[in-house]
Chain A
Amino acid sequence: MAELDTSGGGGKKGGKVRSKKASTRIDLTAMVDLAFLLITFFIMATTLAKPKAMDTIWPDKTKKDVQLPVPESRTMTVLLGANHTVAWYVGPPGKTPPTVDNFGKNGIRKTLIENSKKIEETHAAPDNYMIVLVKASDKATYKDFVNILDELDITGIKSRAVVAITPPEIGMLKDNKLY
């Protein structure tokens, strides 16, 4: 199999016939073949890309007294619209018109960093961090929701809340054709 007979025609000369000594070498080719076949099978059958878990902590709904008043000037509200779109505004609703944005490095991530810096500069420490409210509309998908939470993780914004969307905000989305 793996060995070629290269001994070159021997035994032409006459003489005593000797019983040939059997070689102690075993042909391992077939065994290796089988081993690699099994390896291939196990590689294919195992799940390599293990799913990851994004841990989320939510406010306790059963306790009513733990809610803190949120200073409106430090809040940024992110609205999730249809077709993977986002709209955001800073401050109380209705004061500034929402800006339409998209997901990605140059979209909402940049905005989050910029707004967070701006708020940090205009407010006195230590209460100068930005608070982000995420409001998902009924047209938003689960992917958008995970995306925005991930963006908040990436930008390191710790103060965030997921809040139910209000009718005026749905109106805002509708005005921008995002709903």
Chain B
Amino acid sequence: MARIKIPRKSTAIDMTAMCDVAFLLLTFFILTAKLRQEDPLKVDVPGASVKLNIPDVDMATITVGHDKVFFGVEGTDIRRALLEEMGKKYSTSFTPEETQRFIVTPTFGVPMNTLKQYLDLSADDKKKYVQPGIPVDTTNNSELFNWIYQARIVTKNLHNKELRFAIKGDSHQEYPKVSKIIDVLQKQAINKFSLITSLNQGK
């Protein structure tokens, strides 16, 4: 009798479909990726049940935590113009390199008199440097007041839109400091602003 030969099946797997899916996902993630930015001031945002997303444009964020206040505004064109205006106001001039460095800084917390030195630091030194925060007081001429005021003017001029504000506060920040910032905003008749929260449902 002749032995019946069973044809052995190939173990090769067709990878084409898998490869297609992998690259499709990859493309999706690359396109939607907005790289996580390192915040100079670490804040633990309180949770709430609101589901509204914050807009990406014409937005200024005031970060408050550990009794320090940081300021940041979206948009490179706005940042460039803002630095120029603030330089004029505090009679400091910035070199093109310093302006370029300012543009790529999303949030900062240095007073005007040390801003120039801060921008001159190298990337490594900048990480080590502990930013003291922007001075705030209740007068109409504090630095935070001016940053906010100039940012609004610049946004109005460049984009013809009202700048929106958000307060990003640390959970453990004591209320008086937050109240002070709200006062600064209200002094400029900004009566609508957002509080940044993270989502936690049904607690």
Interface of chain A, main secondary structure:
mixed
Q: Would you call A124 an interface residue if the criterion is a C-beta within 8 Å of the partner chain's C-beta atoms?
A: no
Q: Which of B92-138 contact A (CB under 8 A)?
A: none
Interface flags, A131-145, vs B, CB<8A=1, else 0: 000001111111111
Q: Is the CB of B203 within 8 A of A52?
A: no
Q: Is the CB of B35 within 8 A of A45?
A: yes
* 8 Å CB contact of A139 from B10, B23, B174, B199: B174
Interface flags, B29-61, vs A, CB<8A=1, else 0: 110111110000000011011111110000000
Q: Is the CB of A62 within 8 A of B189?
A: yes
Given known pairs A4-B11, A153-B50, the reply for A146 and B192 (CB within 8 Å) is: no
The minimal Cβ–Cβ distance linking B188 to chain A, given in whole angstroms, is 9
Q: Is the CB of B196 within 8 A of A142?
A: no
Q: Note all chain B residues with C-beta closer than 8 A to A47.
A: 34, 36
Interface flags, B184-197, vs A, CB<8A=1, else 0: 00110101111111
Q: Note all chain B residues with C-beta closer than 8 A to A91.
A: none
Q: Is the CB of B193 within 8 A of A6?
A: no
Q: Report the count of interface residues on B (CB-CB < 8 A).
A: 57
The minimal Cβ–Cβ distance linking A168 to chain B, given in whole angstroms, is 19
Interface of chain B, main secondary structure:
mixed
Q: Is the CB of B15 within 8 A of A150?
A: no
Q: Is the CB of A140 within 8 A of B195?
A: no
Q: Note all chain A residues with C-beta closer than 8 A to B76.
A: none
Q: Note all chain B residues with C-beta closer than 8 A to A150.
A: 48-50, 197
The minimal Cβ–Cβ distance linking A29 to chain B, given in whole angstroms, is 6
Q: Would you call A50 an interface residue if the criterion is a C-beta within 8 Å of the partner chain's C-beta atoms?
A: yes
* 8 Å CB contact of A52 from B26, B30, B179, B196: B196
* 8 Å CB contact of B192 from A2, A46, A57, A62: A57
In the assembled complex, the Cα of A39 lies from the Cα of B171 at a distance in Å of: 33
What is the chain B residue whose CB lies nearest that of A105? Answer: B203
Q: Is the CB of B54 within 8 A of A32?
A: no
Q: Is the CB of B35 within 8 A of A52?
A: no
Interface flags, A69-96, vs B, CB<8A=1, else 0: 0000000000010000000000000000
What is the chain A residue whose CB lies nearest that of B185? Answer: A58
Q: Is the CB of B36 within 8 A of A42?
A: no
Q: Note all chain A residues with C-beta closer than 8 A to B25.
A: 35, 39
Q: Is the CB of A142 within 8 A of B203?
A: no
Q: Which of A2-39 contact B (CB under 8 A)?
A: 2-4, 6, 8, 25, 27-29, 31-32, 35-36, 38-39
Binding site for B on A (CB under 8 A): 2-4, 6, 8, 25, 27-29, 31-32, 35-36, 38-39, 42-43, 45-47, 49-62, 80, 104-105, 136-147, 149-150, 153-154, 164
Instruction: Add 13 more A-B contacts to A32-B15, A45-B35, A54-B48 (CB < 8 A).
Output: A2-B12, A32-B22, A42-B33, A46-B34, A46-B36, A53-B50, A53-B52, A61-B186, A137-B175, A139-B174, A141-B173, A153-B50, A154-B49
